[in-house]
Amino acid sequence: MNHPLRENLEVYADQASEWIRCTQCLRVLCRANDNWRDSCARRLSPPTQAGPLLQELTEHFLLEQLYCPGCGALFNTDLVEEQKNGQEERTKPAKA
């Protein structure tokens, strides 16, 4: 039985376990209880890749895109805080 997880991702079950896979090429990323983000290909770009209005975020944030390592289907796009030591930090949504 398959059910959608998010755009281009689904959870499917075989006789042994449940898995997360790409809906475009059916590449298995990980077990359903693992973090699928760790199995994705990742691209970091300047925020201006999403448009010139994000120029003010340059040098503080990066545009992170997570996509299928098999076919390149996009799973997620986020702004992450740029760290000068080479590690990026996910931004937390503001609470209302």
Largest CA distance in the chain: 51
pLDDT surpassing 60 at residue 38:
yes
Q: Which residues of 50-61 are buried (b: 16+ CB within 10 A; e: fewer)?
A: eeeeeeebeeeb
The answer to whether the CB of 78 falls within 8 A of the CB of 89 is no
Segment 18-29, tens digit of pLDDT: 999 999 999 999
Average pLDDT on 7-34 reads: 96
Average pLDDT on 32-37 reads: 96
Average pLDDT score over the chain: 89
pTM for the structure as a whole = 0.80
What are the residue ranges spanned by the domains of the chain?
2-81
pLDDT surpassing 70 at residue 86:
no
Q: What is the pLDDT of residue 93?
A: 45
